[in-house]
Amino acid sequence: MELSKISGLGFVGLGAMGLPMAGHLAAKLPENVHIFVFDINQASVDQLHQEHPQRITKCSGAKEVADKSEIILTMLPEGKHVRSVYMEGGSDTICSSDISGKLLIDCSTIDTASSLAVKDYIKEKFPTASFYDAPVSGGVVGAQKATIAIFLGCDGNDKNLPHLVQLLQLMGKEVIPCGGPSKGLAAKLSNNYLSGIIAIAVSEAMDMGMRSGLDPRVLHKVYGAGTAQNTICDRFCPVPGVYADAPSSKGYTNGFKVQLMRKDFGLALDMAKRVGAKNVLGEAGYATYDGASEDPRCRDLDSRVVYRYLGGNEDWQKDADEATASKLD
């Protein structure tokens, strides 16, 4: 389905991620394509419409979006919302429209079982429609800058792949076909499991090193030069004041919320259980993100705030300065 040949594209779910993603489509799609949008939060629909009044049409529900569009994207919080918007929400769902021959792309991070349930339902009711999972990574800033990575649940030989890549690249930098249905989600969940575990490990390693008298900037260099090198430590260091651009150095703001990490970590563990994969670190990792999500000192902050949750010293610079001053006295 070539972008230059369609006349309507739909977008359901204009939240922290969906709003800037839809904004990029409104700014970059060929002029012939009109965008039909819906969100239960009217304020975000109005905002997008105000930003692109010629391009955007506000719809009354998911069915109207699907009626008017040849390609429909969704960006919703959890599996239950995706099930509801596609098939379980009564008479106002995407599947209550005739979506034969249409392309449906779900960018939400949800459980693989819900995604496959939606895909199977669509395949049975509308055999000529195509549904893909396409979760994203890179956060709200990445969505605003169109630098997100997109993990596409699609086979490398799928006839729709070139068109999907062309469309998704309007919102992100890299589109990686992961091999087939629900595999984009499986890739995203295993990625977030790994990055969540690494953040806890970096926090613990830094804490034990600092308590042994090491400067965290020295530890940062040591890990970077040694076998422990990893992106979380390099660019998202959980210890404040080590890497200036890390969320920790800005009060753990502008990052990936700890509650979202808890959600993705839990989904990853469910997936692991379902496929029979053993995790010795899973339970401890989940308990850490669960505890941090409920801790008022950590809630709503970047997930690397686990360093704070685990009792790491954030005032190390001040303590070091005071120690130096007292030696000079």
Residues making contact with ligand NAD (CB under 6 A) = 12-18, 38-41, 44, 75-77, 81, 84-85, 108-109, 136-137, 139-140, 256, 260
145 is an active site residue: no
Contact 118, 106 (CB under 8 A): yes
Which of residues 134 and 219 has its CB atom nearest to ligand NAD in the complex? 134
Query: Closest distance between ligand NAD and the C-beta of residue 19, in Å?
Result: 7
In this structure, the chain runs to a length of 329
Closest-approach residue to ligand NAD (CB)? 15
**Three-state DSSP class for residue 72:** strand
Which residue in the block uniquely carries the two structure tokens 């902050």? 301
Q: How far apart are the first and last CA of the chain?
A: 75
Give the list of residues 6+ apart from residue 1 with CB closer than 8 angstroms, or none: 70, 71, 103, 160, 163
Which of residues 60 and 212 has its CB atom nearest to ligand NAD in the complex? 60
DSSP string, 74-143: E--SSHHHHHIIIIISTTSSGGGS--TT-EEEE-S---HHHHHHHHHHHHHH-TT-EEEE--EESHHHHH
Query: Closest distance between ligand NAD and the C-beta of residue 124, in Å?
Result: 22
Which of residues 88 and 158 has its CB atom nearest to ligand NAD in the complex? 88
Query: Closest distance between ligand NAD and the C-beta of residue 309, in Å?
Result: 19
> Of residues 68, 102, 188, 263, which has the active-site annotation?
188
Which residue in the block uniquely carries the two structure tokens 């956060």? 139
Which of residues 34 and 81 has its CB atom nearest to ligand NAD in the complex? 81
How deeply is 228 buried, as exposed, middle or buried, from its count of CB atoms within 10 A (0-12, 13-18, 19+)? middle
Sheet strands side by side (includes 148-152): 136-137, 148-152, 172-177
Which of residues 82 and 242 has its CB atom nearest to ligand NAD in the complex? 82
- Retrieve residue 283's tokens: 């339970």
Neighbours of 198 (CB within 10 A): 18
Query: Closest distance between ligand NAD and the C-beta of residue 2, in Å?
Result: 27
Query: Closest distance between ligand NAD and the C-beta of residue 306, in Å?
Result: 16
Hey, which residues are catalytic here? 188
